[in-house]
A and B are shown apart, each in its own frame.
Chain A
Amino acid sequence: EDQVTQSPEALRLQEGESSSLNCSYTVSGLRGLFWYRQDPGKGPEFLFTLYSAGEEKEKERLKATLTKKESFLHITAPKPEDSATYLCAPLENTGKLIFGQGTTLQVKP
């Protein structure tokens, strides 16, 4: 059965304090892995897609990496506006996204 686990569930950082979020997955027929950001009361906002082990993508203070069983979202020198829930979602070969429960990040000034 497909399974996605994100850790930690919640993370509190001081502004400027770098950290990493983890997404481990067991998905049959993986076609890619997506990262989304979700603010309270809003729909998920697309961040990155990764397709191959070893691939990396960067956007501002965020960098996503992918291995065969895990993906990491590295946040460098975060700012309060980076506070949100970050969702990892492997894409099955059927085209279905399997979402993890998310990591809720709070960055304090």
Chain B
Amino acid sequence: KAGVTQTPRYLIKTRGQQVTLSCSPISGHRSVSWYQQTPGQGLQFLFEYFSETQRNKGNFPGRFSGRQFSNSRSEMNVSTLELGDSALYLCASSWDPDRGHSETQYFGPGTRLLVL
């Protein structure tokens, strides 16, 4: 099976702009989670989507939002970009976190966002 794919892989934006990142999960996986990784804070959970519904949310401002489509593909949007949003954004997919031991999250390669 193909792994999790993320597009684009690299992105440069300026402060105040907005950005949309895309994630295609492993075929058959229904849950998609997003994480932000920075050198100072490490990997931090942003949100999780399952069946087009946000099921879980981390401690990030409302500028960070996401959605999931009927084919489980997910997008993440950051509005009014700030310098501190520069990070590696990772997407992870799993089959179904509610079904016992099928909750292993498999990560994509990430999108490297640089805000100038």
Contacts and interface: CB of A to CB of B under 8 A. Distances in A.
Interface of A: 31-32, 34, 36, 41-46, 49, 51, 87, 89, 91, 94-102
B16 interface: no
B56 to A, nearest CB: 5
Given A42-B109, A49-B104, A94-B56, A101 B48 contact: no
Contacts of A42: 109-110
B39 to A, nearest CB: 10
Nearest to A94: B56
Given A95-B48, A102-B42, A44 B90 contact: yes
Contacts of B4: 43
B86 interface: no
A36 B55 CA distance: 23
B42 A100 contact: yes
B90 A91 contact: no
A49 B45 contact: no
Given A95-B55, A98-B45, 18 more contacts: A34-B105, A41-B112, A42-B109, A42-B110, A43-B4, A43-B107, A44-B90, A44-B107, A46-B106, A49-B104, A95-B31, A95-B48, A95-B56, A96-B48, A96-B56, A99-B42, A99-B43, A99-B44
Nearest to A31: B103
Nearest to B3: A43
Interface residues of B, number: 26
A102 B35 CA distance: 15
A34 B42 contact: no
29 contacts: A31-B103, A32-B101, A36-B107, A41-B112, A43-B90, A43-B107, A43-B108, A43-B109, A43-B110, A44-B43, A46-B106, A49-B101, A49-B104, A51-B101, A87-B43, A94-B56, A95-B33, A95-B97, A95-B103, A96-B33, A96-B45, A96-B48, A97-B33, A97-B45, A99-B35, A99-B42, A99-B43, A100-B42, A102-B42
B42 A97 contact: no
Given A43-B108, A44-B90, A46-B106, A101 B42 contact: yes
